Amino acid sequence: MILLNLFLGTFVAAVGFWLIWGGTVSPVIVVGWALIVGLFLWFMTESITELWAWSTLLLGLESFAWPLVLMIQLRGQAESLPESEMGTILSAVVLGLFSSVFWISFSYGLFKRARKLDAALSEEKVATVSTSRANKKKQRM
């Protein structure tokens, strides 16, 4: 189950990376990004919640970078921009900031949930260990 989620999280980050560049980037670069993200998720996550927290954080950062990349691409073409391209930049800034705030907030909630689950699991392990020690002492007596 975690491998399916790893694949899906990597796919989401790779599609976000591809969309940043407007589909103009080489597929080799997108596959390289997907491999880097996949390896990062494989080594950094221990649960599905953490995996999706990192994936949505990456998607939020990609959403934030999208209007910046678009501005750089459009600015490189000419000295002054026509009104239609200025409207495109405005739309990208509004949508990019809105979606980046959403995805980063969502990832924050997932990180918070993962931290609570880890704390609950560690408390459960401590309680289990202390209970087993108490049972061993009773058996000795």
Instruction: Tell me how many domains the chain contains.
Output: 1
In one letter, which amino acid is 21? W
Q: Which of 6, 57, 12, 112 is nearest to 120 (CA)?
A: 112
Give the list of residues 6+ apart from residue 40 with CB closer than 8 angstroms, or none. 54
Look at residue 63 and give its three-state secondary structure. Answer: helix
- Residues 90-103 pLDDT 10s: 999 999 999 999 99
Q: What is the value of pTM for the model shown?
A: 0.80
Residue 41 C-alpha from the chain's centroid? 9
- Residues 11-70 pLDDT 10s: 999 999 998 888 788 999 999 999 999 999 999 998 999 999 999 999 999 999 999 988
Q: Which domain holds residue 15?
A: 2-140
